[in-house]
Amino acid sequence: MGPFTRVGCMRRFDGMWRAVADVGRDRRGGYARDAWSAADLELREWFRQEAGLRDLAVREDRNGNLWAWWGDPGSRPGVVTGSHLDSVRQGGAFDGPLGVVSAFAAIDALRERGVRPGRPLGVACFTDEEGARFGVPCVGSRLLTGVLDPARACGLTDDEGDTLADVLRAAGRSPQALGRDEETLRHVGVFVELHVEQGKGLVDEDAAVGVASAIRPHGRWRFDFRGRADHAGTTLLADRDDPMLPFARTVLLAREAAERHGVVATVGKVRVEPGSANAIPARVSAWLDARGPEESAVRALVAELTGAAGAEVECESWTPVVDFDAALRDRLAGALGGVPVLPTGAGHDAGVLASAGVPSAMVFVRNPTGISHSPEEYAEPGDCHAGVAALARVLEELCD
Ligand code: HGY
Ligand code: MN
Ligand code: MN
């Protein structure tokens, strides 16, 4: 990647990476960095400090997203890079933070080269991208762009029964402020998110970095199976109304139907009420995550499961296919010397911005095993540095 592999900015990347490595570790493995948790608040403070070290002006928008600016975004729409700092439960270290740390390191690389951007350059940290706590992904970018209703967002509830509004107030924020943010959106002329690849496309292509072509359609549905609580030891089988049975049948059907429809379906979260080992449950709630190359196939799977489950089904989030701006995609791939261009099945804030009409792109960094949303998630230091150099090159190209 030529001039951007100077040691200085890579040392600073390594230093920042070490600084966040222990924030929000889960003693069972991976990270617990729920939105607005102590770990998230600590990372938000880290973001402000790193921005301050670089004399970047930090703004928090009405939805809690952080923006660190080199130059005045009010002067003309800027070039923005960044990602998120929250994680899934027992998630990996790279999903999100790699994009934010690389953004700061890329600015260091530009400055080491004496580059003076011709337009404002921003680093964004979107809040609650994973939706691990309140169930809806990309809350910060969906509120920013107006695709998530503020009243619905305020009422989202975590497993402890706290609403997002409660949590925002406890964090000193105003739930009443949530909503589409025209001024902040005007500041974003183009957005580029660097992200660890969640798959092995770059491994197969033997490339350290790549550029995204599309995000496949995906959504989350909550299935509520209701039964009748009763004693596990005294209730005859014939007298039972056990919601665990239709739940189990639905999970097995989801896998079999996914194969038939050519999609992927996952039930990764289940809540059993009351959750006593010696009581037949009153209710089983299960969350289906379904994704695939074709929207129609995903919809067909969900319709089949809904028809067979005997449950109340609610769509909690839906993301249509995102085809990233082709001219921007090709310009970045070209600026990087012709790197692979590949789709992803993972959702990202870049996809939400693209769907809202903001020219957006993604740079992927090789993940040797492809594993993500797991403590096993990994990227080699050399590939992370290649990502920083690629991002710096892309930012220089866009800021010209
Ligand atoms: O679920 C996703 O695809 C993303 O990691 N939030
Ligand atoms: Mn993720
Ligand atoms: Mn992510």
Q: Is the pLDDT of residue 174 over 60?
A: yes
Predicted local distance difference test score (pLDDT) of residue 36: 98
Nearest CA to ligand 1 atom 4: 347
- Res 370: pLDDT: 98
Does the pLDDT of residue 2 top 90, yes or no? Answer: no
| Integer Cα distance of 117 and 398 in angstroms | 9
Q: What is the pLDDT of residue 189?
A: 98
Residues with Cβ within 6 A of ligand 1?
Answer: 129-130, 137, 346-347
pLDDT at 3: 47
Q: Do 46 and 161 lie in a common domain?
A: yes
Query: Within this chain, do residues 189 and 314 fall inside the same structural domain, yes or no?
Result: no
At 8, the pLDDT band (50, 70, 90 cuts) reads confident
Q: State which ligand 1 atom lies nearest to the alpha carbon of 372.
A: 5
Section 348-374 average pLDDT = 98
Segment 103-119 mean pLDDT: 95
Protein residue with its CA nearest to atom 6 in ligand 1? 130
Q: Which of 94, 127, 195, 198 to mutate for ligand 1's pocket (most ligand atoms within 8 Å of CB)?
A: 198
Compute the distance from residue 362 Cα to the ligand 2 centre, in Å.
14
Among 33, 84, 88, 98, residue to substitute to test ligand 1 (most atoms within 8 Å of Cβ): 88
Residue 1 has pLDDT above 80, yes or no: no
With 60 as the cut, is the pLDDT of residue 30 above it?
A: yes
Q: What does the alpha-carbon distance between residue 61 and residue 183 come to, in Å, rounded to a whole number?
A: 9
What total number of domains does the chain contain?
2
**Best probe residue, ligand 1, of 362, 373, 374, 377 (max atoms within 8 Å of C-beta):** 373
Q: How many whole angstroms from its chain centre is CA 334? A: 26
Give me the percent of the chain exceeding a pLDDT of 90.
Answer: 97
Residue 347 confidence (pLDDT): 98
Residue 6 confidence (pLDDT)? 60
Q: Report the pLDDT value the prediction gives residue 9, as an integer from 0 to 100.
A: 80
pLDDT in the model for residue 106: 97
> From residue 325, how far is each of 185, 249, 350, 360 by CA, in Å?
17, 41, 11, 7
Q: Which domain holds residue 385?
A: 2-216+321-399
Q: Considering the chain, what percentage of its residues have pLDDT values greater than 70?
A: 98
Whether residues 33 and 44 share a domain: the answer is yes
Token representation of residue 268: 């990764």
**Residue 303 pLDDT exceeds 60:** yes
Residues 253 and 380 in one domain: no
Kindly tell me if the per-residue pLDDT of 357 is higher than 50: yes
Domain C-terminal end among 293, 319, 345: 319
Is the domain of 209 the same as that of 331?
yes
Say how many Å lie between the CA of residue 280 and the centre of ligand 3.
38
| Residue 219 burial (C-beta neighbours within 10 Å; 0-12, 13-18, 19+) | buried
Q: What is the pLDDT of residue 400?
A: 84
State the closest ligand 1 atom to the C-alpha of 347, by its place in the atom list counted from 1.
Answer: 3
Q: What is the CATH number of the domain that holds 239?
A: 3.30.70.360
What average pLDDT does the chain have?
97
Kindly give the distance from the C-alpha atom of residue 347 to the centroid of ligand 3, in angstroms, as a whole number.
7
In the listed set 260, 290, 319, which residue is the last one of a domain according to the structure?
Answer: 319
